[in-house]
Amino acid sequence: MQPSSLDELIDALRCLPGVGPKSAQRMAYHLLQRDQRGAGRLARAMGHALDVLRHCDRCNTFTEEAVCQRCASPRRDASLLCVVEMPADLAMIEQTQSYNGLYYVLMGRLSPLDGVGPRELKLDKLLARAGDGSVREVILATNFTNEGEATAHTLATLLSARGLSVSRLSRGVPVGGELEHTDIGTIAQALVERRGL
């Protein structure tokens, strides 16, 4: 006896990651009962984003143009290409203000258990970009999780085979980190990758 428009909204909310039937219902009631303005804004923002957003032809991140502003900038060092998993990772690296090269955003990571292989991740697009003649070094900045490491390993193999110089962010004890509060896996890596002084 529940109106179909309400059923449909609750069902549609379940496309959000981590939202099950109970929380979809709670969200629908909240929006309709307490925040119709927010709901209207969300419906419009979602429709608009779907209309105008696309992937940058060069770096694959979300953009409203064919080539994003960063890739089009003449002030960036086009010989360096840093590969990250997500736009949020790119934002973190930009915040360091210690990198002036370009990026490639995978929009994910290899994850065989979730059905994300080289094809799903469109690695062809990265290989074409990295091999376009302008890139001297590819810096792999995928996460240091199991999946991120496996992705970096696969990319290193593919890119090296094409004659490109490949590097990876260093692992070790975080800046400001105390050994007592650092996990032993990280300390072990910091020992293995110790630098001569």
Name which of Zn ion, a copy of itself, none residue 59 binds, using a CB cut-off of 5 to 8 Å depending on partner kind: Zn ion
Which helix (H) or strand (E) covers residue 129, if one does?
helix 123-130
Q: Total residues contacting a copy of itself (rule CB under 8 A)?
A: 55
Name which of a copy of itself, Zn ion, none residue 38 binds, using a CB cut-off of 5 to 8 Å depending on partner kind: a copy of itself
Name which of Zn ion, a copy of itself, none residue 62 binds, using a CB cut-off of 5 to 8 Å depending on partner kind: a copy of itself
Rounded distance between C-alpha atoms, residue 139 and residue 168, angstroms: 5
Segment lying near a copy of itself (by CB under 8 A), choices 61-69, 74-82, 144-152, 182-190: 61-69
Give the residue from 100, 157, 156, 166 showing the smallest Cα distance to 136. 166
Rounded distance between C-alpha atoms, residue 168 and residue 165, angstroms: 11
- Interactions with a copy of itself, residue window 69-98 (CB under 8 A): 69-70, 86-88, 91, 94
Segment lying near a copy of itself (by CB under 8 A), choices 35-43, 124-132, 142-150, 171-179: 35-43
Token readout for 55 is 């992937």
* 56 lies in the binding site for Zn ion (CB under 5 A): yes
State how far the alpha carbon of 116 is from the alpha carbons of 19, 48, 140, 194, 195, in Å.
21, 28, 19, 34, 36
Least spacing, CB of residue 102 vs a copy of itself, in Å: 12
* 109 lies in the binding site for Zn ion (CB under 5 A): no
The single residue listed with the structure tokens 């629908």 is 28
What are the backbone dihedrals phi and psi of residue 180, each rounded to the nearest 5 degrees, phi first? -55, -30
What is the Cβ-side half-sphere exposure of residue 141, based on CA atoms within 13 angstroms? 24
Q: Note whether 150 and 157 are within 8 A (CB).
A: no
Name which of Zn ion, a copy of itself, none residue 58 binds, using a CB cut-off of 5 to 8 Å depending on partner kind: Zn ion
Nearer to a copy of itself among residue 29 and residue 193 (C-beta): 29
What is the Cβ-side half-sphere exposure of residue 90, based on CA atoms within 13 angstroms? 22
Name which of Zn ion, a copy of itself, none residue 136 binds, using a CB cut-off of 5 to 8 Å depending on partner kind: none
* 11 lies in the binding site for a copy of itself (CB under 8 A): yes
Q: Which of 39, 127, 156, 158 binds a copy of itself (CB under 8 A)?
A: 39
